[in-house]
A and B are shown apart, each in its own frame.
Chain A
Amino acid sequence: MAIQTKIVSRPELNLWEKLYIPQVVQGIEITAGHFFRNLSLHILHRFGLLRHLRAAVTLQWPEEWRPLAPRSRTRHRLTKREDGSPRCVACMMCETVCPARCIYIQAEEHPDPNIEKRPKSFVIDLGKCVYCGFCVEACPEDAIRMDTQILDIAAYSREGMVLDMQELLNPKSARILSTK
């Protein structure tokens, strides 16, 4: 099949545009309009007026945080039963599905005969995690979720990025940072 080419013609400028000056004036009109609108809004904000109109799109991180969508995948947490023990039954589904192989679970027998197993240790290495959310999808018990809205994950060492079960059950923001 012959290659179809579409010839796009250059837009011809009319005389008004070629003069350039009207265009310059138009441009300055736009920028100056923004300038005066934002400047007066900034001044009004100082006096506590019209606060609902934003004068700038800038978010002043870290004082001001960008609101996250509820469905965005953030740091993991393990959900709990009513008595506070983890819901996880150590079925290893998440460990199996994890494409980054960053979940490490050790199972042990659950004291309650109705429940087969429980995790003895449950470790996620966030340094490897790719935040794909497969672990959440795979879990048959709704025991792992990624809805903590914690994004400020940083550490001074690779070991620092490893979360143990204690931390996963009680997620705290910026814990990793504070413990190096």
Chain B
Amino acid sequence: MIATIFIQAILAGIVLFSVISFAALHTWLERKQSAVMQDRIGANRASIFGVRALGLFHPIADAIKMFMKEDYIPPFGDRFLHTLAPFLSMTFALVAFAAMPFGDILKMGDLEIPLQVAPINVGLLYIFAMMSMGVYGVILAGFSSNSNYAFLGGLRASSQMLAYEITLGATILGIVMIYGTLDLQEIARRQGDLLWGWFPKWGFFVQPLGLFLFLVAGIAETKRIPYDIPEGESEIVGYFVEYSGMKFGMFYFTDFLETILIACLTTVLFFGGWQVPYLNRAGFYFPWVEGGNIPVILIPHTMVVLLQVSAFVVKVCFFCWLFMTIRWTLPRFRYDQLMRLGWKIVFPLSLVNLLATAAVLLL
């Protein structure tokens, strides 16, 4: 019992640490990637004793700057809610990672550690619940600032998030139907099955439309360009206009966390999670040669787990890259376009996808 709790605590620590560091790294990634895409160099001047390290110290400089800034709470604003809102946003984005499977089972002696902080059998529901709770942070931020701009921004943000939340839920139902479970670990595991005896049954192949709609709705969920109407950094001020210092930083951080979360979800639901093609618990196997599932190349257990975890990380990094590329490529939608896209196109399409999947499964 104690050992289990201890192991879970360690796992939680590892996940929390890596997610937060990766989110901090996202600020660097955002600067550098946008720069490289636009033929620029990007922020590279922050240095420690003359070592610049490609501008990797900029996130640290950012953090120092944000801590030094005045923490301003607008007069007549609600002090308590104003302080609470960024914490709510960030906490719910962070705890959602608990249900994310980042590897299969790790065997240490006779201990079997599932590489997932909280092995919940309704993990998907849990993550969606946490993501919806994130709306509270946004609404409260807009509401407690006692500023009309922030209030309207909060309304915009919450209506967008609710609209796309529903779509997001409807798009993954296809996946749930095909793999027949809400357990993310199980979904990842079943994507190791083979179609026609040789093709890995990854979600993107059985649910191409689902993947597409999921990406559309998922990016909307992260509140970043082309769906950055909630924030509208430069033109239409958003719900965190009255925030300063680290509280503003936390909202910003939440966006990055949500980007990573959506990247993780895409990986787990549509790209096999930690699956490496043709790798099972003992090593690589080649189904088209004689002998089927017997591994041809044997690999020690720790190596297999390591391969799987790194496969997961690589996939997540790829999607973070993709989201960043989209963010720096597209212009922003207008608000009516956004709502029309959400309610009139993406949502009906996801229902169609659902029906089609159901029909195919029935036949």
B329: CB under 8 A from chain A?
yes
Task: Let me know if A57 and B40 touch, CB within 8 A.
Answer: yes
- Count residues on chain A whose CB falls below 8 Å from chain B CBs: 16
A177: CB under 8 A from chain B?
no
A27: CB under 8 A from chain B?
yes
Shortest distance from the beta carbon of B214 to any chain A beta carbon, whole Å: 14
Shortest distance from the beta carbon of A20 to any chain B beta carbon, whole Å: 9
Shortest distance from the beta carbon of A60 to any chain B beta carbon, whole Å: 7
Q: Report A-chain residues with C-beta under 8 Å of the C-beta of B328.
A: 31
If A24-B330, A27-B330 touch, whether A34 touches B325 (CB-CB below 8 Å) is no
Give how many A-B residue pairs fall within 8 Å (CB-CB). 41
Residue ID in chain B nearest A27 by CB atoms? B329
Shortest distance from the beta carbon of A26 to any chain B beta carbon, whole Å: 10
Task: Let me know if A56 and B41 touch, CB within 8 A.
Answer: yes
Contact of B40 among A30, A31, A32, A56 (CB under 8 A): A56
Shortest distance from the beta carbon of A36 to any chain B beta carbon, whole Å: 9
- Which of A35-80 touch B at CB < 8 Å? 35, 38-39, 42, 55-58, 60
Task: Let me know if A42 and B36 touch, CB within 8 A.
Answer: yes
Q: Is the interface of A mostly helix, strand, loop or mixed?
A: helix
Question: CB-CB contacts of B296-316 with A at 8 A, as 1s and 0s?
Answer: 000000000000000000000
Complex CA gap A128/B174 in Å reads 73
Task: Let me know if A39 and B41 touch, CB within 8 A.
Answer: no
A132: CB under 8 A from chain B?
no
Shortest distance from the beta carbon of A34 to any chain B beta carbon, whole Å: 5
If A28-B325, A56-B41, A60-B41 touch, whether A34 touches B330 (CB-CB below 8 Å) is no
Task: Let me know if A35 and B33 touch, CB within 8 A.
Answer: yes
Residue ID in chain B nearest A42 by CB atoms? B36
Q: Report A-chain residues with C-beta under 8 Å of the C-beta of B39.
A: 34, 38, 55-58
Task: Let me know if A58 and B40 touch, CB within 8 A.
Answer: yes
Task: Let me know if A56 and B35 touch, CB within 8 A.
Answer: yes
B7: CB under 8 A from chain A?
no
Contact of B325 among A32, A38, A55, A56 (CB under 8 A): A32
Q: Report B-chain residues with C-beta under 8 Å of the C-beta of A60.
A: 41
Q: Report A-chain residues with C-beta under 8 Å of the C-beta of B326.
A: 24, 28
B38: CB under 8 A from chain A?
yes
Task: Let me know if B330 and A58 touch, CB within 8 A.
Answer: no
Task: Let me know if A28 and B40 touch, CB within 8 A.
Answer: no
Complex CA gap A42/B37 in Å reads 12
Interface residues, chain A, with chain B CB atoms under 8 Å away: 24, 27-28, 30-32, 34-35, 38-39, 42, 55-58, 60
Q: Assuming A24-B330, A56-B35, A57-B39, what are 13 further A-B pairs, CB within 8 angstroms?
A: A24-B326, A27-B329, A28-B325, A31-B328, A32-B37, A34-B36, A34-B38, A35-B36, A38-B37, A39-B36, A42-B36, A56-B39, A58-B40
A-B contact pairs, 18 of them (CB 8 A): A24-B329, A24-B330, A27-B330, A28-B326, A30-B329, A32-B37, A32-B325, A34-B39, A35-B33, A38-B36, A38-B37, A39-B36, A56-B35, A56-B36, A56-B39, A57-B40, A58-B40, A58-B41
The 6 closest A-B pairs by CB, nearest first: A58-B41, A31-B329, A27-B329, A35-B37, A38-B36, A56-B41
